[in-house]
Every structure is written in C-alpha cells, then in structure tokens.
Amino acid sequence: MKVLEAKFVKQFINLCFEGYQKGWHERNGGNLSYRIKKEEVESIKENFTYQDEREIGTIVKDLSNEYFLVTGSGCYLMNVKEYPEENICIIKVNDDGTKYQICRGLKNGGKPTSELPSHLMNLEVIKRRSINEKRIVYHMHATNVIALTFVLPLNSEIFTRELWEMATECPVVFPRGIGVIPWMVPGGKDIAIATSKMIEKYDAVIWAHHGMFVTGSTFDEAFGLADTIEKSAEILVKVISMKGVFSKEQTISRENFIHLAKDFNLTLNEDVLKICK
C-alpha cells in the first residue's frame, strides 16, 4: 500500500487541516504525533528508506523500535493537506530509545517537530498508562485557552473547575480535568519532563501563554477533546467580557456535578470537586 493511501495517514492529515481551519496553527505553530500500530507499519513498510540516526534529546526506552508519524519542524500545518510528503514524516526510534531515523517524508529535507522530545515522552507515558490505547499527542495554539492563562490562576484544579462550569458536556469529555504548567521555554527537555508528569494524571495539559497538549486513542477523540476545551474557554472569555469582572451570578454546583457523574457513570477529579461551590 502507498503511504498516502493508508487510513491513519489520511486521518492525520485531516486533523492538521481541521486544526488550521480553527485558527490554532498560525504560521508554523502546533504539531501532531501518532504512535503507529504494528499492522499499519507492515502495510506500508515497503515504502521506507532509512536515513542516518539522529539524537532525540531524551530517552524513551519504552518506545524502542516503534514507528511514529509526526509533523515537521518549521512546517506550516496549513500545507500538510496539499503537500504531505514535504511537511510530515515517519520516524523509527532505535533500540535504546535515544535516537530516531526518518523512514519516509520531509522529502525536501528537515527534521521532525522541535517538540519531538515532549511528544515522545508523553507518548511513552500514555503507553505505560495503557488507557484506551492512547496513541496521539496533539499540540495547538488554542486562542481562548491562551487568553485565560493571563487572567486565571495557573492552578490545575481552578482551571478545570472554571471550564467544567461553562458547559455540561465538559466534565463528561474530560472528567480527569486539565493540567496547567506555568510558562516555560517550549521545545526543550524541561517542558517535556513537566508535561509528561502532568500526563500521568490528565489527558490534556495547558502551557501558559502558549497553547495546549491533548492526547487521544483516535484522531477524532484527540481533536474533539481540544475542540471541547477551547469552546469552553471561549464561553468563559465571553462570560468574563459580559460581566466586566471575573464573577458569575450562578453556575453548575458541586452537587450538580455529583449528580452528573452518577448518571453518566463518571469518576470526576476529586481535587476539583473540593473547590466547587
């Protein structure tokens, strides 16, 4: 099978374009990675040519000899749909989890996203968690989420509570809550470590003044999680704007959340429930 005919490649490309249409990928902002299933690798492996090994910048031993589809460094996600071979690539991690090889893509040269260490470290964490076979890490510059990092306390429980309250579906979509990391230089090992610690507990992590990382077992799930969080953030931005100050006359209460959890068979983050009114 040709690489671009594979279903997972088409879904990957579509997510990049959908995110661009949302306004989350200005210039070369944002990136996406997918841990490819063994049977998917076998279906397209005949098309691979292996380049020289390059350092990852961290160690991901639990991902040794696995293959990943990732966006390229400096590439514009708006171009992925029309020029995929120039903007995305398939890589293989080596035996000890310290290096990778490009096997396909980036035909004009280049390297995977500069945030590859963050992606691989988080993919390693969610692989160990083994929750619903999560294989996707998606980073986007969600406008309203970023705006809220300037006015809300950079506290995971408070941020989650405020977003849960904006729409009843929110605690259903992200019952574990959202992690929040204060501003750090993006693309390096430090922010990768901080994010991977958060991903042990949360399925989505906000990088203050920068954007958001989400995980998913399918491309639809990852995109849907990001879209739900950003929509909730948009509602909150509008509520704040209408009121003029940060306060609400009424909201979804702790008791309401408890009833919701019971009816939907959810386990909501207890730390968040403690600070709900």
- Bridge partners (DSSP) of residue 60 are none
Neighbours of 196 (CB within 10 A): 22
- Please give the positions annotated as active site: 115
Tokens of 9: 């490649």
Whole-angstrom distance, CA of residue 251 vs CA of residue 254: 10
β-pair type (179-181, 136-140): unpaired
Neighbours of 124 (CB within 10 A): 22
β-pair type (204-207, 67-71): unpaired
Tell me the residue ranges of DSSP E strands in 130-198. Answer: 136-140, 179-181
Q: Helix, strand or coil for residue 88?
A: strand
Whole-angstrom distance, CA of residue 107 vs CA of residue 264: 47
β-pair type (136-140, 211-216): antiparallel
